[in-house]
Amino acid sequence: MKLVGRDRLDAFEKKQAQARGPIRAWTAEIERARWKTTADLKARYPKASILADNIVIFDLGGNKFRLESRVLFQVQLVVVNRIGTHEEYNKWRR
């Protein structure tokens, strides 16, 4: 998959240093992934929440952080919409 929104991840790492490891591990996996369907994604990330319009919420760092993305399977693209702490996630509106 191609990843769009790395700048958001970098900015979050600067605010939350403890997120660096989980973000980098997730990024490396995303770049190797070749998911064709949501079932493929769920096979690797069973706790990911898949919402309407292929919005996917990933839990990172033992559920300390939440990453909202849009996964476009046909073009092999993951777009990072936002990332935050679990507490910040609870305040997001969808």
For residue 53, what are the domain limits?
Answer: 2-89
The radius of gyration computed from the CA coordinates of the chain, to the nearest angstrom, equals 12
Question: What are the pLDDT digits (tens) for 5-24?
Answer: 999 999 999 999 999 999 99
Residue 30 lies in a domain: yes
Residue 45 lies in a domain: yes
Residue 8 lies in a domain: yes
| pLDDT given at position 69 | 97
Residue 43 lies in a domain: yes
> What's the whole-number average pLDDT of the chain?
94
Residue 63 lies in a domain: yes
Residue 52 lies in a domain: yes
Residue 94 lies in a domain: no
Contact between 61 and 84 under an 8 Å Cβ cutoff? The reply is no
Residue 20 lies in a domain: yes
How many structural domains comprise the chain?
Answer: 1
